[in-house]
Amino acid sequence: MKLPIYLDCNAATPVDDRVFEAMRPYFTEIFGNAASTSHAFGAQARDAVNDSRRTIAEALNVSPEEIVFTSGATESDNLAIKGIARLHKGGHIITAATEHKAVLDPCRCLAQDGYRITCLPVDRHGFIDLDELSAAFSPDTILVSIMHGNNEIGTVQDIGAIGALCRARGVAFHTDATQTIGKLPFDAQALNVDMASLTAHKMYGPKGAGALYVRKDCKVAPVIDGGGHERGLRSGTLNVPGIVGLAKSLEVAVAQMDRDITHTRTLRDRIWETLRAVSPTVIVNGPDPIADRERRLPNNLHVSILGFEADAIGAALCNVAVSSRSACTSGSNEPSHVLKAIGSPTDGVFSLRFGVGRCTSAADIDYVVNQLQSTVTRA
């Protein structure tokens, strides 16, 4: 076992060896521009992109032409939200208070341009109320954007039901599925999704490679102009190694999804059971990892710790890479907007997000459990 132990897989994952090997030739051997199809170098790159598009489309149960490559989920979110808005030149957008800033900030930007934004509240576990969503629709609603799995507290929304409400009203539905695609089954057709954002670095692929699924009947305006790449929806030279890595990471994730779910959930549950046993001041944020596990990301645990035991637990995990802070967002003194939205205490509270991964071993968790038990007991 090597220290420190990495338990922040909701932020980023290491590149899987199989993914790295698939990408390797496209850095040094097959290095052409995929748009330069008048020679073999470009044609080989184009073929790799087309193969990758088919692989991703098959995993999501969509058509290859419905996959648009981007630099990652933030760009995909912006393309979906601003792309719909630019077509309508006004209107109403519905989102939720616990969305990633990659959704909330574009919505705030559009509000400054005169668009009307409804930000739905959530319950203490992070779920929106479908009746409240239904009541929020209006004749000028042009888009609903609700994330599938929450990056902080692991809440998995019922996006199939959300999509059905949108489809019945002829309103476009976008989901940021960054945390779920590759971790949970995702059938865009069955889920009534019009647009879905995904990225490679959450599923053991490279950073800087993502995609947006855009249903063929869903019209979106580009937000980047120049060159007309990706059917005119996203201009710019394609990141061929990254695209190959994105496709391979998703292919591997789908093939071993059941194994990964069992592995990460089992190890995640051990951490939660230990924390719950050693400290009565630990509060789980999001759905209960044991009792409500089907509505929570299998690898995610987010807790808030009150009182003096917070310092002891923080000290116990000095050799563990987790997302830790006093309930504040990175680079800001403001409390986490997600914790505020679910009503979790944020004043004088220490919060931890554990992200277990494919790379996490039982020995890693043994170390974490032993540190928690011995340190908190001494405190």
CA distance 169 to 319: 51
CA angle 116, 122, 126 (to 5 degrees): 130
Contacts (Cβ under 8 Å, ≥6 apart) of 15: 204, 205, 206, 245, 249
- Is residue 328 part of the annotated active site? The answer reads yes
In the chain, beta strands by DSSP E: 5-6, 67-70, 92-96, 116-120, 141-145, 172-176, 195-199, 210-214, 282-284, 300-305, 320-321, 323-325, 350-355
CB 260 within 8 Å of CB 357: no
Closest alpha carbon to 332 in 342, 311, 346, 344:
346
- What one-character-per-residue DSSP string does 289-314 give? TTTTGGGB-TTEEEEEE-TTHHHHHH
Phi-psi label, residue 116: left if phi above 0, alpha if psi -120 to 50, beta otherwise = beta
Output the six-digit token pair for 249. 């990471």
Catalytic residue among 107, 109, 166, 328: 328
Written as one letter, the residue type at 338 is: V
Q: Which positions are catalytic?
A: 328
